[in-house]
Amino acid sequence: MEKLEMLYEGKAKKVFKTSESGKCWIEYKDDATAFNGEKKGKIAGKGTMNNEISAIFLSLLKEKGVNNHFVQRISGTEQIVLQVEIIPIEVVVRNIAAGSLAKRLGWEEGKELPQAIVEYYYKNDELGDPIINNDHIALLGLTSESDLTKIRNQALKINKILQEFLKMKDLILVDFKLEFGKTLEGEIILADEISPDTCRFWDASTKEKLDKDRFRRDLGNVKEAYQEILRRIGGTVGV
Ligand code: TMP
Ligand code: ASP
């Protein structure tokens, strides 16, 4: 398979076309941004770590019957994925109040929610990814009601699988963001990274933050937190 022209460059990844139809080539970058790109930086080795962390989570999900875009990891920072048309909705699942939920509701961070909740954000950088509901999604024609139900159910299933796996590694899955896409065959699948960039992971006993909040909030030891996640989920820490 050959890497062809770049299709898209995001804040943390580049996506390339390939010589094989239906497959894309992704390159994970060390660049880190927060607050809709207002804060910019680099985390040395993040590309390599997120590539491996994502590969581990996406393979686990596949094993558990959740189809997703992951095909194979091909180098330190690169992986092959299925080509999809991304549905412009950021799906956030939360188990514990943190970040924007804690702010919106005036709750303290760390409060356990009685059950997982799902939120939708409109993936639109110009608007700063505003929160939206089912009616807004219908109004904007982002996806059909039945596809949205499928997305919600998949997101909750992914939450259960990841929570259970991470519990065994002494980690709490606080919340995370997912994106879904439609394959050329019309199937809706998870088509996103799963990494400390897009999830909140806390150490189960100390509640130490082991994710991008260390970068967002200038807590220090950002790279070390990503390395710790990789170590706990059984990856190599050769960065
Ligand atoms: P939030 O509390 O800031 O809304 O974030 C919820 C989760 O979504 C958190 O795990 C971080 C992740 N997230 C992204 O992956 N990308 C984003 O642009 C934002 C705002 C959050
Ligand atoms: N990735 C997001 C951005 O830069 C924000 C975040 O993850 O906090 O916009």
| pLDDT tens-digit map of 174-229 | 999 999 999 989 999 999 999 999 999 999 999 999 999 999 999 999 999 999 99
33, 38, 176, 213: which to mutate for ligand 2, most atoms within 8 A of CB? 33
φ and ψ at residue 184, rounded to 5 degrees: -60, -25
Quote the tokens at residue 185.
Answer: 């065959």
- Cβ-contact 170, 205 below 8 angstroms: yes
Distance 1 CA to ligand 2 centre (A): 32
- C-alpha span between 108 and 99 (Å, rounded): 10
> What pLDDT sits at residue 125?
93
- C-alpha span between 44 and 223 (Å, rounded): 7
92, 100, 105, 119: which to mutate for ligand 1, most atoms within 8 A of CB? 92
Task: Write the residue with the smallest CA distance to atom 2 of ligand 1.
Answer: 99
Quote the tokens at residue 126.
Answer: 């110009």
Low-confidence spans in the chain with pLDDT less than 70: 238-239
Classify domain 3-82 by CATH architecture.
Answer: 2-Layer Sandwich (3.30)
> What pLDDT sits at residue 185?
92
Q: Where are the domains of the chain?
A: 3-82, 85-220
Residues above pLDDT 70, as percent of the chain:
99
> What pLDDT sits at residue 238?
58
Burial class of 183 by CB neighbour count within 10 A (0 to 12, 13 to 18, 19+): middle
Kindly give the number of the ligand 1 atom that is closest to the alpha carbon of 174: 10
Question: Distances from the Cα of 78 to the Cαs of 44, 132, 136, 190, in angstroms?
Answer: 16, 33, 35, 18
Give this prediction's pTM.
Answer: 0.97
- Cβ-contact 39, 46 below 8 angstroms: no
Matching fold, domains 3-82 and 85-220:
no
Residue 119: which H helix or E strand, with range? strand 112-122
Classify domain 85-220 by CATH architecture.
Answer: 2-Layer Sandwich (3.30)
